[in-house]
Amino acid sequence: MRRGAPPGGRALMYLSALAGAVAMVGMWNFLTPRQRQAPSVRHVVAVGNFETPEETDIGPGLELQANLLQQLSRYPDLLVREQTGEEATVQGKTDFLLDGNLRRRHPGWELAVRLRDVDEDRVLWSDAFPVARQDLEAAGERVVRGLARTLKVHPR
């Protein structure tokens, strides 16, 4: 007289036990709340105002600032926010401040830009170059490349 499961029955018993274990693990994963992974932000960068000598010329400075905010948002290691220089130093939560000025230069502008370490109050990178009025976006790309090289960050 044979004891135990019929031939092939033992394999069926193991398979149903395995299926039950898989179902239990699946239910456990479904019912367990998941914590979202926080993005791995390494640097907080404030994009400050790009000053212009006359109040009537404020448009290009604001356009450049908006362009930089948009372009820098593609960098996962950066938390980017719009801020003025005074706010950045007072809050203390900002690592770097990117700001500069636009001066009229016939036929366009002269852009001077700098990246400052807020804690150490020192300039890490700066650049100055002529910009045609219609090339503010290209100027923003040049600034972003300089900042990315300096901070050693890469876009998504």
Could you read off the pLDDT of 56-69 as tens digits, one per residue?
A: 778 888 899 999 99
Residue, of 18 and 141, whose pLDDT is higher: 141
Average per-residue pLDDT for the chain: 82
What pLDDT does residue 91 have? 55
Show the tokens assigned to 11: 């394999």
Is the CA virtual torsion 82, 86, 90, 94 positive or negative? positive
pTM equals: 0.70
Residue for token pair 């001066």: 103
Residue, of 156 and 145, whose pLDDT is higher: 145
